[in-house]
Amino acid sequence: MIRQIKKSGGQYFYIGNGAVCCMLKIAYGKAQLLHLGAPLSEDDCEALCCETVLGWEPGVLYREGDTRSCLDELPLAWSERGTGDYRETPVGLLYEGTEICPDFVWSSAGEVNTEEYDAVLPHARGAQETVKLVFTSSNRLLEGLTLELRFSLFETALVRQAVLINRSDKPLKVMKLMSACADLQGSFMVSTFDGGWIREAHIHTVPVTRSRVANGSAGGFSSNRHNPGFLLSRPGVSDDAGEVYGFNLLWSGNHYSSVQRSSVGFTRVLQGISPDGLCLDLLPGGRIETPEAVAAWSGRGYNGLMENMHRFVNESVIPEAWRYQERPVLYNNWEGCMFKFNEGKLLSLAKKAKKIGCELFVLDDGWFGERDNDQAGLGDYSVNRRKLPNGLEGLSKKIHDLGMQFGLWFEPEAVNPDSDCFRQHPDWVLSSPGTGPFYARNELLLDLTKPEVRDYIVESVSAILDKADIQYVKWDMNRNSPVSGNKAYEYILGLYDVLHRIFDSRPRILLESCASGGNRFDLGMLCFSPQIWASDDTDPVERLDIQNGLYYLYPQSTIGAHVSAAPHGVTLRATPMSTRSNVAFFGDFGVEFDLDSMKPVDEAELKETIAYYKQHRKTFQFGRFSRNGTEEGTLCWQVSDGEKTFCGLFHKLIPAGPEIEWLRVNGLDPDRTWHVEARSQLLRVGAYGSLLRFATPVPLDTEGTIIRLADRHYQMRDGGFSAECSGAALQSGIPLGKRFTGTGYDASLRVQGDFQSNVFCIVPKT
């Protein structure tokens, strides 16, 4: 509900529902933020007004003689430098080379029509209500300069946006324009999601103090270094209890957010595009719309926040055609083949992929131009006939004949210098004036700010999509940008234009975006691509941290998660097939290794595993996600659709002589009886190492032919477990079966060595 309330004390705005609430007061023409967070009643608005604490100090008064008008000490929803607020402010304007204060004052409130939105910027859809608060500049030189602050209420989040419209007759330069500014009361911890290539989205938490904590990116994209999303939580918050705020941005370029506690105890939060190097022209008649900024709140710890964020993304960000639509199990040939393949090899892989239950065959890098390694061909769209003599159409037809869908990899934003595209258009590459070119992975980015470059990409990609009967596209981008500031900003607008033009008219194509894994995992890209390749690191143990970080802000359905080879290609860590699968269950499951060298035992296990995932994927992809019962060294992920619940219990390194383990399940009806069943998984004979000698009638060489053959063909059941009990008992925890402690085997023994895991299914007892 959005309400404008007039009281004797002033003008108020109430924007709230059962999940989030924001209350504003217009005082001195400024938007004071009385409250953001817990749902409150509009009757509380007057009680939430604060007084300044100004004494004999140098604080500047906005209204002469009125000590309550010291803006530096008030909680604000927007602010400008030059009005007496000395905290970090969301806007910076230059007029004739000098910073100028617009001093915006409130003029009106109104609704926003969809036609008013920038057509290129991605927007969240399906707001319950939207209001714009309109402010005009009271600076004598800037008469007519207008700021609109938009507030859109979604079922589980609040979305904000700032729009600057130059109705003055002065040309301005915009150095900074944030999407949102908010002052929140009390102490906080701030959590950011940081990393790099193959170690994306690791959570880091520090206290919010008087020193500023800035979370931003500079590589041209939302980045794997610092995801745009972050959290503010009260000290002591847990998975199940306490107050947490989540913030995010619908933007894929350089971003910036900061938090800092003020002298009177407000934490100022800024969210927006990075002002680093920015200097945008705002000419008379012009306007700049910022990306949308999201805020969600939970009083039920991280689990409540994840529920709100996930619902917002699933229902308002993901393209409509893919909302709550089950994602196919895919096979991708990259980690299995890299650049070395031909049609025969691909068909052999596709047949095996089909046999184990994959539904979509994705041909990754290397199908075009002279692309036998990453030094040539990027930018060209002619099919490499040496590898694919029947072209993409021929291959696609054969894949379809096998009963699978066909998907294709593109990296349209880049070129290799050794490509026809670059030879014909050397002036198309992106560079900053007078420097470079600076290479990364032997490639240069194309200048997407140029209309002719955008046309080339749109026409080339569209032609292939229309000819080769393609159901899925992996849109990759594998380097950081050589430019910053305006150019980097305009590049992202160019990218959004290209994505609109290719995919708006092809809504049934499943788009998975990728940037060397998770170098562009953000809500901007998710407006076009329902899922994102989270990381080139498919080692399940590394994925526990990567996916665990992403879940705070992004639902399982947005996270591409594949089973790959062991030992793993980037960590050389050996992990069991069961754990590789169990981790991939909590995302969009895929397979990505050379199936021609798959052992018979792995084939049997994967077949069984994929059938299980397909049967329950709706719950895995879209069920309510939460975490529970985390013991030292253990991680427990839970997804639930109300009837069916799955818990994944994962171990990294296990101690010798382990303690008894307990299964705890959140949120079940406490009075109902539930049936718990461990997913049947398999254990390689070889896992028993030299102990096997004691289990065989005659001692056998563990490196010898007999054991090696047994290891290829024979598996044992692992960790069978079932129980029946009330939801109350499951909430409190039930003990799991005996764990291996140096001897013995039976089908219910949990051979829980390092990197082992189980998935439990919980359904009502029939």
Q: Binding to ligand GLA by residue 152, rule CB under 6 A?
A: no
Given candidates 103, 512, 536, 588, which one binds ligand GLA under the rule CB under 6 A?
536
Given candidates 476, 537, 539, 718, which one binds ligand GLA under the rule CB under 6 A?
476
SS3 readout for 567-613: CCCCCCCCCCHHHHHHHHHCCEEEECCCHHHCCHHHHHHHHHHHHHH
Stretch that binds ligand GLA, among 109-117, 380-388, 512-520, 736-744 (CB under 6 A): 512-520
> Minimum CB separation from ligand GLA for residue 333, in Å?
10
- Of 73, 90, 1, 63, the C-alpha closest to 32 is 73
Given candidates 517, 629, 648, 719, which one binds ligand GLA under the rule CB under 6 A?
517
> Minimum CB separation from ligand GLA for residue 529, in Å?
14
Residue 387 and residue 399: Cα distance in Å, rounded?
A: 16
> Minimum CB separation from ligand GLA for residue 514, in Å?
5
Which residue carries 């290539």 as its tokens? 197
- Of 74, 117, 95, 491, the C-alpha closest to 274 is 491
Q: Among residues 536, 537, 545, 718, which one is catalytic?
A: 536
**3-state secondary structure (DSSP) of residue 364:** coil
Q: Binding to ligand GLA by residue 516, rule CB under 6 A?
A: yes
Contact, 268 vs 81, CB < 8 A? no
- Of 623, 552, 606, 442, the C-alpha closest to 193 is 552
Stretch that binds ligand GLA, among 103-111, 509-517, 637-645, 732-740 (CB under 6 A): 509-517
Whichever of 150 and 479 has its CB closer to ligand GLA, that residue is 479
Residue 270 and residue 151: Cα distance in Å, rounded?
A: 15
Contact, 311 vs 294, CB < 8 A? no
Q: Binding to ligand GLA by residue 514, rule CB under 6 A?
A: yes
118 is catalytic: no
> Minimum CB separation from ligand GLA for residue 613, in Å?
21
Residue 214 and residue 212: Cα distance in Å, rounded?
A: 6
> Minimum CB separation from ligand GLA for residue 360, in Å?
15
Q: Binding to ligand GLA by residue 334, rule CB under 6 A?
A: yes
Q: Binding to ligand GLA by residue 224, rule CB under 6 A?
A: no
Q: Which amino acid is at 624?
A: R
Whichever of 333 and 752 has its CB closer to ligand GLA, that residue is 333
Peptide bond connecting 437 to the previous residue in cis, omega within 30 degrees of 0: yes
Which residue carries 């409190």 as its tokens? 732
Cβ neighbours of residue 454 closer than 8 Å, sequence gap 6 or more: 448, 494, 497, 498, 501
> Minimum CB separation from ligand GLA for residue 547, in Å?
16
Given candidates 88, 307, 364, 545, which one binds ligand GLA under the rule CB under 6 A?
364
Query: How many residues at the interface with ligand GLA, by CB under 6 A?
Result: 11
**Percent composition of the chain: helix, strand, coil (DSSP 3-state, to 5):** 25, 30, 45
641 is catalytic: no
Q: Binding to ligand GLA by residue 183, rule CB under 6 A?
A: no
Residue 567, Cβ neighbours under 10 Å: how many?
10
Q: Binding to ligand GLA by residue 200, rule CB under 6 A?
A: no
372-431 binders of ligand GLA (CB under 6 A) = 409
Q: Binding to ligand GLA by residue 194, rule CB under 6 A?
A: no
Beta bridge partners of 761: 646, 677
Q: Which amino acid is at 721?
A: F
Q: Binding to ligand GLA by residue 518, rule CB under 6 A?
A: no
Q: Binding to ligand GLA by residue 307, rule CB under 6 A?
A: no
Whichever of 80 and 536 has its CB closer to ligand GLA, that residue is 536
> Minimum CB separation from ligand GLA for residue 334, in Å?
5
Give the total residue count for the chain. 766
Residues near ligand GLA (CB under 6 A) are 334, 364-365, 409, 476, 478, 514, 516-517, 533, 536
Q: Which residues are catalytic?
A: 476, 536
